[in-house]
Structure 1
Amino acid sequence: MIKSLSLIYINMNHIGSILFLMFISVNCELYGQTVKLENQPNFIIIFADDLGYGDLSTYGHPSIETPNLDRMASEGQKWTNFYVGASVCTPSRAALLTGRLPIRSGMTSNKVRVLFPNSVNGLPADEITLAEQLKEVGYGTACIGKWHLGHKKEYLPTNNGFDYYFGIPYSNDMDNLAKLKSKEEYEKFWHNRSNIKSENFNVPLMRNTNIIERPANQNTITRRYTEEAISYIRKNKDSPFFLYLAHNLPHIPLFASKEFLGTSRRGIYGDVIEEIDYGVGQIISALKEEGLTNNTIVVFTSDNGPWLSFKADGGSAGLLKAGKGMTWEGGMRVPGIFWSPTKIKPGLISDIGTTMDLFTTFSHMAGVSIPNDRIIDGVDLSATLLRSEPSDRDEVLYYRGSDLYAMRVGSFKAHFITEGEYGMYGERQLHEPPLLYNLNHDPSEKYNIAERHPEVLEKIRAAVKKHESGLVIGRDLLIERN
């Protein structure tokens, strides 16, 4: 009798295993095996443009109020050492969506900073985006907002894994009807607030591959992006989705809806940030209303540091040095907030993470294999996010264009080259020996300690050599223009 019961137990276990295997679907793809799992989390990435490390009240700003992001940070994880893949728009966005340094994809250049309306190229078709990854296991995907990885049809989000696109395909200051020809004209235009009218920037607003409004009314663009995001969430609540919401602001020119214009203590820049924060709150409320909070991960971050040359119309990197375009900390260290009430373990995270890690982390969480036919620079942060275990990332590479300017290993950062904001704040300088800073002790990079720690410099040099030994540089795709 006991033997018979044991056989029944074994058989029941066997049947249970079969039923479990029937619960998942296995896909053999070109670059590896993918497994579709039940209860895949939804992913929302909210990406601000030119928002600095110090521009949110949860990161210490004294006059900008961001209660919704503050709440996300207190309920989820706030990362204090979170980085982007580049300190300017196009390469930074390429890094986030591909999980790869933009030097590999050709989405960076020493001669042209970003893609422009007369650029010929865009993100190469053979690059695999996070949207393409997630579609392999059944995700719906949407890109709302700024794209800046190619405005031609073949380069738009709808040809890079996104089912739906609504937004401006490049920076909101482009297609400037003033046709500025000199530095003097440029500065005169931008420092006269009366010139900053939405109709002066002939940027297109697109739905999928069609232009639906030109010039886009930027006075309402933040509100409309939020509305589109909420609409997408409600329509796709019954299946896993990836929503990439990339605001065009607070990149200059600055615009806010009438409900927010003139309401902050920080002027127009603060108005813009507070409207973005309000939109974040609306998105969180929509998730709660639809019963999606337990299975949705929301990330808020920025594409690079603040554009300092625009003074009060630019943001702040807080105690970090410099800003957009530079490889000092203020250019590449950004806010990083992760929120999911039942998945993300709340806490203040001082370990290192980057936007490239989202590709790897979300792929693993969704049950899709990492491509094995190319180098992926992102690491899996899920153990830190879900259980507050130490991050697997210990290094950050600071590229400016195609040149490696600096590298961080652990708490130490070495600068091999330094340069100001696109030549505006000092000439390019080569440093031998490199400048060295302990970022845990000196996050403002004030005190060079290279003479005291030659052994640290040797360790960092060895890490650089290892990185460069396997580096294949992609063809410069930004330089070609009509």
Structure 2
Amino acid sequence: MKALLNLLALICLLSGLFSNPLSAAESNRKPNFIVIFCDNLGYGDIEPFGSTVNRTPCLNRMAREGRKFTHFCVTAGVCTPSRASIMTGCYSQRVGMHWNPRDGQVLRPISPYGLNPEEVTVAEVLKQKGYKTGMIGKWHLGDQPPFLPTKQGFDYFYGIPYSDDMTQAVGQRLGDRLDGKNWPPLPVMLNDTVIRAGVDRNLLTKDYTEKAVEFIEQNKDEPFFLYFPQAMPGSTSKPFASDAFRGKSKNGPWGDSIEELDWSTGELLDKLVELGIDDDTLVIWTSDNGSPMARDMNSTERGTNKPLHGRGYTTSEGAFRVPTIMWWPGRVPADTVCTELATTMDLLPTFADLAGAKVPTDRIIDGHDIQSLIFGKEGEKSPYDAFYYYAMDQLQAVRKGPWKLFVPLKEFSRHPHFKKGEGSQPLLFNVVTDISCEHNVADQHPEIVKELQALAEKGRADLGDTNRPGANQRKAAHIENPVPPTLKTTSTK
């Protein structure tokens, strides 16, 4: 009997010797990262966040197997500045992508402006550690050669350089305004080259999904980063969808496009499982800003941000707080919810630490490492002492903890709460207990108003305000003589 026990002990010891190195090798594998970034999709547009009209079974699964973030914010209510933040880990005001005199708040075709190549993107951070980096979808950070994804850290780019509504037909209607008469047919680009002039937008989601699956298959044996900014639901009043989804939802074109986005997400998750790399991959699903919503805000035909207050394109909670799900089998706790404030700026420092890469130390990075929130560490709180809500160059609100203060303003171009002639008094909302921002409690909490006003002033000094440059702002890039991206102009580069 003793000899048998000794033999079993020896077998266990040998098993441990042979299995432990394998486990160590597996644990040392750098994680893959996939970021799915929808366009103009609202907080209440998917079932895990309350939709009763759009069917999203794949996102239901993702939430069931992953973690919902109910206070996850972007840094702008519109496309370009929001995308600048996810790439750089900074407020768009920090990197000069919040406004420019030619385009306003979002880049238009043939803009001389773009994300400065001197900025360090999340793709460049991960390339330090040997990651293959791919970007499939909508870029919108500059359509000129020095600003394209391949110049910003991506090994591979397939997609359109700006919004799906910036077509040649729209440009012709604009005429001389924004150089519209020179806008080209909506281009599909492969790396730096236009490969298709004029796009069937009904096929964009399907096309992008097929390319994303190919990228995953091709890079399954090495760490990869896939940035997947979808074109839909997009900026048109009637989004696009392929034949398999068009006309099939209960919510018109908006619902059709969302249900196809749901299918697309399922295709990626299923591929990760099929390849056996699901437990090596963190997938984050979110949106670049809230939906614009229809004139009748009880309608869902152009999306909904309810129960949050306000439309996209503003500084409302509905514009800045976006539906977010994180999924990493075995690492992200299943069927859980994070109610702490986190933002898209946090992805760069978080991915960097998980990959063993270095965050730039020669410049301010506004984001934080939020692994403790992602992995559900008990008692962890938001890393933000203050979070700022800007409309282009104007600071309109600041948040700390549950409190959001809309600062008094003398004038503004657009505001989610103030009408023309209003704005002289502060508005204070508890965005946790008053999710729809219906009750201004500034008079009941003067000490909180004072504290947040001081934080607002700190933000102005750092990031600027209307007619007031910030001390730590950096500039967007600018070139002379931009040219339309067409089959002819890119094929010779």
Could you state the TM-score of these two structures normalised by the residue count of structure 2? 0.83
Structure 1 Cα separation of the partners of residues 249 and 387 of structure 2 = 35
- Aligned-pair CA distance for 1:422: 5.3
Residue type of the alignment partner of 2:332: I
Rounded to whole Å, the distance in 1 between the matches of 2:136 and 2:203 is 14
8 Å contact 2:110–2:143 — kept in the other structure?
no
Aligned residues: 433
In the aligned structure 2, how far is the partner of 1:285 from the partner of 1:338? Answer: 15
Aligned to 1:206: 189
Matched, 1:400 2:388: no
Who is 2:228 aligned against? Answer: 245
Corresponding residue number in structure 1 for 2:68? 78
Q: 2:404 aligns with which of 398, 413, 416?
A: 413
Going from structure 1 to structure 2, the CA distance change for 1:409 and 1:429 (only over 3 Å counts) comes to farther
| Change in 2 beyond 3 A, CA 1:421/1:467 | closer
Q: Map of 1:329-340 to 2, 5 A cutoff?
A: 329-340=317-328
Match of 1:180 in 2: 173
CA distance in 2, matches of 1:453, 1:59: 31
Aligned to 1:166: 158
Q: Which amino acid aligns with 1:225?
A: Y
For residue 134 of structure 1, what is the aligned residue in structure 2?
126
What residue ranges of structure 1 are gaps of 5+ in the alignment? 1-19, 25-36, 183-199
Q: CA deviation at 1:431?
A: 3.3
The secondary structure found in structure 1 opposite 2:443 is helix
Q: In the alignment, is the contact (CA less than 8 A) between 2:116 and 2:475 conserved in 1?
A: no
**Which runs of structure 2 are paired with 1:252-263 in the superposition (5 Å)?**
252-253=235-236, 254-263=239-248
Structure 2 unaligned regions, length at least 5: 1-20, 176-182, 464-471, 483-493
Secondary structure of the residue aligned to 2:113 is: coil
Q: 1:285, 1:445 → 2: CA distance?
A: 39
Other-structure match for 2:58: 68
Tell me by how many angstroms 1:391 deviates: 3.4
Q: By how many angstroms is 1:164 displaced?
A: 0.1
- Checking the alignment, whether the CA contact within 8 Å between 1:407 and 1:415 is kept in structure 2 is yes
| Partner SS for 2:173 | coil
Partner in structure 2 of residue 28 of structure 1: none
Distance 1:310 1:218 in 2: 25
Does the CA-based 8 Å contact 1:135-1:161 persist in structure 2? Answer: yes
Matched-pair contact (CA < 8 Å) for 1:295–1:342: no
SS of aligned partner of 1:356: helix
SS at match of 1:91: helix
| Aligned residues with identical type, % of pairs | 40
CA contact (8 A) 2:395 2:460 kept: no
**Residue in structure 1 matching 2:203, options 208, 220, 226:** 220
Following the alignment from structure 1 to structure 2, what is the Cα–Cα distance between the partners of residues 74 and 376? 33
**Residue 118 of structure 1, aligned match among 104, 110, 128:** 110
Q: Is the 8 A contact 1:82 1:333 kept in 2?
A: yes
* CA RMSD in angstroms, aligned pairs only: 2.6
Shift of 1:373: 0.9
C-alpha contact 1:326 1:421 (8 A) present in aligned 2: no
CA contact (8 A) 2:353 2:369 kept: yes
Deviation, structure 1 residue 75: 1.1
Q: What does residue range 6-405 of structure 1 map to in structure 2 within 5 Å? A: 38-109=28-99, 112-178=104-170, 179-181=172-174, 202-253=185-236, 254-308=239-293, 313-346=301-334, 347-389=336-378, 390-394=380-384, 395-405=386-396
1:445 matched to 2:437: yes
Distance, in Å, in 2 between the alignment partners of 1:87 and 1:110 is 16
The Cα of 1:428 is off from its aligned counterpart by: 5.7
2:485 is aligned to: none
Taking the aligned partners of 2:479 and 2:399, their CA distance within structure 1 comes to 29
Residues 360-397 of structure 1, C-alpha deviations (whole Å, 9 max, x = no match): 11111111121111111111110121243413423321
Deviation at residue 342 of structure 1 after TM alignment:
1.1
The answer to whether the 8 A contact 1:173-1:201 is kept is no
The 8 Å contact of residues 43 and 241 in structure 1, kept in 2 or not, is answered as yes
Contact 2:37 2:229 in 1 (8 A): yes
Task: Tell me the TM-score normalized by structure 1.
Answer: 0.84
Q: SS where residue 341 of structure 2 aligns?
A: strand
